[in-house]
Amino acid sequence: MLWPDTIMTPLHVHSVKTEGHYRAMQRAYIAKGRAKFHALNWKDPWTFIGVKPDVMVDGGKLLVKCECGNYPSVHPEWKLALCFECGAIYEGLEMPPNLDKIEKALAKRKHPAYRGWVKGETVEDLDAQTEKIKVVA
């Protein structure tokens, strides 16, 4: 199968191996954008200060919603998400305490399009949704 049975992170989305590589890739993407699209306002990477966004799973990927509307990829061990569009850096993100159980519940769904979770949903909720998905998918 093409899709992994795990929740995808920057390791999958951007093919990075380390936190430093992830940060370097964000800087390189912004530099390339500046060179190619001069009329756009490409900001240097900046640290988001404020109420941290909730971590979610959508399309089988661990994400946060950036204030610019993008959904940067989260690495659960680094507790980090980097927005390649506006340059936001989200550090110290709070991971769900039962992320491993959420991951196992979502892995029962064959395609990542059906793998989603938001704060407040329980594993039991996910299992019930999976039963409904099996009927239509």
Q: Where are the domains of the chain?
A: 10-91, 99-136
Each residue's pLDDT tens digit, 50-82: 999 999 999 999 999 999 999 999 999 999 999
The model carries a pTM of 0.91
**Both tokens of residue 30?**
């912004």
Task: Report CA-CA distances (Å) from 27 to 13, 83, 132.
Answer: 16, 10, 42
Residue ranges in the chain assigned as alpha helix (H): 10-13, 19-36, 99-107, 123-136
Each residue's pLDDT tens digit, 93-136: 999 999 999 999 999 998 899 999 999 999 999 999 999 887 55
